[in-house]
């Protein structure tokens, strides 16, 4: 059922793109969209959240944490909260503005729906699908999407694998452990979140030595996935030395 809610969120974002005549990346002006929808945006001190949607009577406001200084992060957070607004999700009253909260029920994950809405609004499938149908696969296209659509490389990597036809997956690691995995629809292998990186991966090399090769390289598949045979996949990893994190793109070539 959650899949259908995600599709509804994406359809809502597509409707908004059509409504505002978006035909190029330059047309995606998030704060202008919010203003046209009657939603104001203000910066406030927030604890436990990067942004929150608040309704007070007939007024709707997106409260953005003053801690956010990255324009790409600000854009995604605003788009995410616009998702809550457009999808009619419940919002927090002003009295609990600074408190962390869960936005999930037994049937629905409102945060996942708002993320899907934001991804479609900021990185429309109609503009990006062809660019994501590439082979070989590495982080070059996600980097271009991040630059052209003013989003983070993490957001663009996730969006890339959503739209890719190749067997690939984006993996984010921190302090030597896998934090999240975003597979393409055709990537059938499971990569467990929370597990330590394998020593055979390039990502592990960064946490062990502080070094990473700049170019994609073949690595033994069992460094990332379980398999009954020996074969190689292609890994392209980039790091943030400041944050101690690694973003990895994995690709299984068609010949395998």
Block means of pLDDT (10 residues each) for the chain, length 256 residues? Answer: 89 98 98 97 88 91 94 97 95 55 69 97 98 97 98 98 98 97 97 97 96 95 93 97 96 90
pLDDT of residue 46: 84
* CATH placement of domain 2-122: 1.10.10.2910
Please enumerate in sequence order all residues whose Cβ is within 8 A of that of 130, keeping only pairs 6 or more positions apart, or say none: none
**How confident is the model at residue 92, as a pLDDT?**
63
**pLDDT score at 95:** 52
**pLDDT for the residue 105:** 60
Q: The pTM is what? A: 0.92
What is the SS3 assignment for 32? helix
Contact of 200 with 227, CB cutoff 8 Å: no
**pLDDT at residue 91, as a whole number:** 73
Residue 70: other Cβ atoms inside 10 A: 10
What is the model's pLDDT at position 9? Answer: 98
Per-domain boundaries in the chain: 2-122, 136-252
- The SS3 call for residue 91 is coil
Q: Are 137 and 251 in contact (CB under 8 A)?
A: yes
C-alpha 246: how far from its chain's center?
15
Domain 136-252 belongs to what topology? Beta-Lactamase (3.30.450)
């Amino acid at each position: 059922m959650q899949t259908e809610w995600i599709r509804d969120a994406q359809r809502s974002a597509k409707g908004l793109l059509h409504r505002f005549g978006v035909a190029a990346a330059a047309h995606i002006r998030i704060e202008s969209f919010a203003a046209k929808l009657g939603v104001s945006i203000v910066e406030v001190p927030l604890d436990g959240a990067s942004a929150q949607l608040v309704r007070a009577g007939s007024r709707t406001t997106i409260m953005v944490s003053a801690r956010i200084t990255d324009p790409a992060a600000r854009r995604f957070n605003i788009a995410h909260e616009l998702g809550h607004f457009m999808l009619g999700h419940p919002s927090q009253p002003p009295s609990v503005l600074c408190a962390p909260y869960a936005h999930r029920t037994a049937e629905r994950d409102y945060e996942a729906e708002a993320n899907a809405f934001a991804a479609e609004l900021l990185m429309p499938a109609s503009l990006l699908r062809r660019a994501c149908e590439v082979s070989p696969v590495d982080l070059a296209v996600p980097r271009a999407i991040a630059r052209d659509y003013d989003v983070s490389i993490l957001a663009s990597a996730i969006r890339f694998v959503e739209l890719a036809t190749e067997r690939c997956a984006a993996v984010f690691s921190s302090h030597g452990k896998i934090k999240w995995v975003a597979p393409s629809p055709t990537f059938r292998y499971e990569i467990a979140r929370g597990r330590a990186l394998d020593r055979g991966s390039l990502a592990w090399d960064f946490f062990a030595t502080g070094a990473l090769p700049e170019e994609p390289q073949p690595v033994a598949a069992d460094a990332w996935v379980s398999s009954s045979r020996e074969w190689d996949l292609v890994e392209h990893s980039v790091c943030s030395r400041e944050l101690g994190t690694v973003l990895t793109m994995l690709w299984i070539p068609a010949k395998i």
